[in-house]
């Protein structure tokens, strides 16, 4: 990714002239935002493109102007909270009442640049409308990462304000298709623009192509964006390959050292470093070494690496825990410590046999331990408990589920409705649904030892009276439920077993019941995806697989069910809604709900 540190702030430019006004003396968000709004109000597409790409001849400039228009100027700001930003925008006469949409692309760029977990960077997008010089509709694209006082994100904010990595000029492609996009891409590159990342944002169904502006650009912005409505990931793939090809050795080295990161995080969890550290004040290495019984010199080496990952921060008084690092504490809400121990423990060991798994068709886990992980964990209760805890560690993917139309409709029914969580682990998802929807009752079907663990969790939440616990297997799916849930279950199994599981669910479902399946979906175009990574993990360590949506549709059809729709969830997951093949489609789909409310499900 291109780093830009020497050019003046692009937001200091107010008129499209080769000579620019000086950058503002303050780097605060208010000055940067004001400059961006002023810029958008005064620019004209033809002049701006000529300044961005000075080498264009008249015909090329006309071709660009005919196919795209200046749409917005973008910047990243760090208010203490969203109301503070809305107040600032209102002071400029801009309406920012809309809810921010998630920013997939900028979140991932920030995570990569600052070595942070993308899941803790809650970057949203606001696009308050701004009129151009002829009254044309434009916007200021404001990426928002809230940084409350005392937040460990303050370092990121200071770095980004100083360098303005995300500041850009955007041109929206009108009537985009692959041929037009490839032609525009070629023209930009031919005149010195350099591919600088991009991505597809499923929340708004738009594809972004970022470029570094040519060295002789006179527009005052170092980056430009082509935005195309719709999913154009096939064209995007070539764009990203071009970006990556410019730094192959460094890219490959980073890939090769991925195992070091896994083991560093696992060691951090095993040593319980995070439990002995504080987020407000630092601790010296010697004192921390005494706390966790570690060698001071080697611990210092580990801490420096963890600081590079953003798990800890190096301060004048020692090392301090960050928000990312807090997720490795046992007592943290949504603790991911069990995942670190699983991925750095038995699954890490079996991943070393990936080659054997590919050659033989058996899992690496079976090669190493002599049996599948389910049977092995049953004989090792401490690993079984850790595995169940690790499944709950990704609980944030469940946050939008109480808003799903099927769940909302069940809760709004005049009589209490029942949600059956099939193989639901310790019931993390079911607890969230019952807590959010008071008219729902639950049934948790699980193995006997897991059921006993779940009882305690439900009792502690005060939800045990609204839930029935049933020990059993897939053949024991209880009848009479209104909503059935299979959360991260089907990816454990090959197709034949999946069809059997789905038939058990279908046989238990009444005519109007709904089935929600939560899985990571493989992309249809080969674009980068967490599902692709998990597919490799499932193959090597579990014996299952991830699938595309159309693959799940075929499995459902074989069980007498039909896929109604699929909608995205956090952490790369999706929820698939299915009903009996002959059931009426009287409930709104997630896509219909998104359309009717103006929000993404």
Residues acting as catalytic residues: 491
* Helix pair angle (448-460, 428-436), 10° resolution: 30
Q: What single-letter DSSP state applies at residue 269?
A: H
Q: What single-letter DSSP state applies at residue 593?
A: H
Question: CA distances (Å), 418 to each of 75, 300, 401, 421, 436, in order?
Answer: 46, 53, 15, 10, 14
Among residues 177, 171, 163, the alpha carbon closest in space to that of 193 is found at: 171
202-228: burial string, b at 16+ Cβ within 10 Å, e else: ebeebbbbbbbbbeebbbbbbbbbbbb
Distance CA 409, CA 402 (A): 10
- List, in sequence order, every beta strand (DSSP E) within 423-560: 440-446, 467-471, 483-487, 514-519
> How many Cβ atoms sit within 10 Å of the Cβ of residue 10?
26
Q: Are 402 and 437 in contact (CB under 8 A)?
A: yes
3-state secondary structure of 143: strand
Q: Are 223 and 168 in contact (CB under 8 A)?
A: yes
Q: Are 306 and 260 in contact (CB under 8 A)?
A: no
Question: CA distances (Å), 94 to each of 85, 548, 584, in order?
Answer: 11, 42, 45
Q: Are 44 and 16 in contact (CB under 8 A)?
A: yes
- Judging by DSSP bridges, how do beta strands 483-487 and 467-471 pair with one another? unpaired
Q: What single-letter DSSP state applies at residue 263?
A: H
Distance CA 488, CA 401 (A): 14
* Helix pair angle (285-292, 296-309), 10° resolution: 110
Phi, psi of 376 (to 5 degrees): -65, -40
Neighbour-count burial of 544, counting CB atoms closer than 10 A to its CB (0-12 exposed, 13-18 middle, 19+ buried): buried
- Which helix or strand (DSSP H or E) is residue 69 part of? strand 68-77
Distance CA 30, CA 113 (A): 24
Neighbour-count burial of 294, counting CB atoms closer than 10 A to its CB (0-12 exposed, 13-18 middle, 19+ buried): middle
Render 21-63 in DSSP notation, one character per residue.
PPPPS--SHHHHHHHHHHHHHH--HHHHHHHH-TT--HHHHHH
Distance CA 353, CA 346 (A): 12
């Amino acid at each position: 990714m291109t780093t830009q540190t020497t050019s003046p702030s692009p937001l200091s430019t107010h008129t499209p002239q080769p000579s620019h006004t000086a950058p503002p003396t303050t780097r605060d968000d208010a000055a940067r935002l004001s400059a961006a709004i002023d810029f958008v109000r005064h620019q004209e597409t033809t002049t701006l493109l000529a300044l961005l790409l000075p080498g264009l001849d008249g015909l090329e400039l006309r071709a660009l102007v005919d196919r795209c228009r200046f749409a917005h100027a973008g910047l990243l700001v760090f208010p203490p909270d969203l109301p503070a930003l809305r107040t600032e925008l209102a002071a400029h006469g801009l309406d920012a009442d809309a809810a921010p949409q998630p920013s997939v692309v900028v979140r991932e760029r920030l995570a990569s640049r600052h070595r942070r977990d993308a899941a803790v960077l809650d970057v949203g997008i606001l696009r308050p409308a701004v009129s151009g010089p002829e009254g044309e509709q434009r916007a200021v694209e404001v990426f928002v990462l809230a940084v409350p006082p005392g937040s460990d994100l303050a370092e990121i904010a200071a770095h980004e304000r100083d360098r303005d990595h995300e500041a850009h000029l955007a041109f929206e492609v009108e009537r985009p298709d692959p041929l037009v996009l490839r032609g525009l891409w070629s023209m930009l590159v031919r005149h010195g623009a350099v591919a600088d990342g991009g991505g597809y944002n499923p929340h708004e169904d738009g594809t972004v192509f970022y470029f570094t502006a040519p060295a002789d650009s006179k527009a005052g912005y170092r980056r430009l964006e082509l935005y195309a409505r719709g999913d154009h990931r096939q064209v995007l793939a070539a764009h990203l390959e071009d970006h990556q090809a410019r730094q192959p050795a460094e890219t490959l080295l980073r890939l090769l050292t991925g195992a070091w990161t896994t083991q560093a995080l696992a060691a951090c969890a095993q040593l319980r470093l995070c439990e002995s550290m504080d987020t407000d004040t630092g601790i010296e290495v010697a004192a921390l070494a005494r706390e966790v019984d570690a060698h001071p010199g080697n611990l210092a080496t580990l801490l420096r690496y963890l600081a590079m990952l953003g798990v800890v921060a190096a301060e004048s008084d020692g090392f301090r825990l960050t928000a990312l690092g807090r997720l490795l504490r046992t007592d943290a809400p949504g603790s991911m410590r069990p995942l670190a121990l699983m991925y750095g423990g038995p699954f890490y060991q079996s991943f070393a046999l990936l080659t054997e798994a590919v050659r033989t068709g058996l899992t690496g886990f079976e090669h190493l331990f002599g049996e599948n992980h389910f049977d092995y964990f049953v004989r090792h209760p401490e690993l079984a408990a850790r595995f169940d805890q690790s499944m709950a560690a990704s609980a944030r993917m469940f946050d939008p589920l109480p808003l799903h139309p099927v769940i909302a409709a069940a809760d709004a029914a005049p009589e209490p409705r029942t949600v059956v969580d099939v193989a639901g682990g310790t019931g993390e998802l079911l607890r969230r649904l019952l807590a959010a929807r008071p008219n729902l009752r639950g049934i948790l079907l699980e193995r006997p030892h897991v059921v006993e663990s779940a009882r305690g969790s439900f009792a502690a939440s005060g939800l045990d009276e609204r839930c029935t616990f049933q020990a059993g297997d897939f053949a024991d799916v209880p009848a009479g439920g209104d909503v059935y849930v299979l959360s991260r279950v089907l990816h454990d199994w090959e197709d034949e077993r999946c069809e059997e599981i789905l038939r058990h669910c279908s046989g238990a479902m009444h005519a109007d019941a709904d089935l929600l399946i939560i899985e990571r979906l493989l992309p249809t175009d080969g674009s980068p995806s967490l599902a692709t990574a998990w597919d490799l993990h499932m193959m090597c360590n579990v014996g299952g697989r991830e699938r595309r949506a159309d693959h799940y549709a075929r499995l459902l059809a074989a069980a007498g069910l039909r896929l109604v729709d699929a909608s995205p969830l956090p952490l790369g997951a999706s929820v698939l809604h299915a009903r009996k093949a002959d059931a009426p489609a009287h409930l709104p789909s997630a896509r219909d709900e998104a359309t009717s409310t103006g929000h993404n499900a």
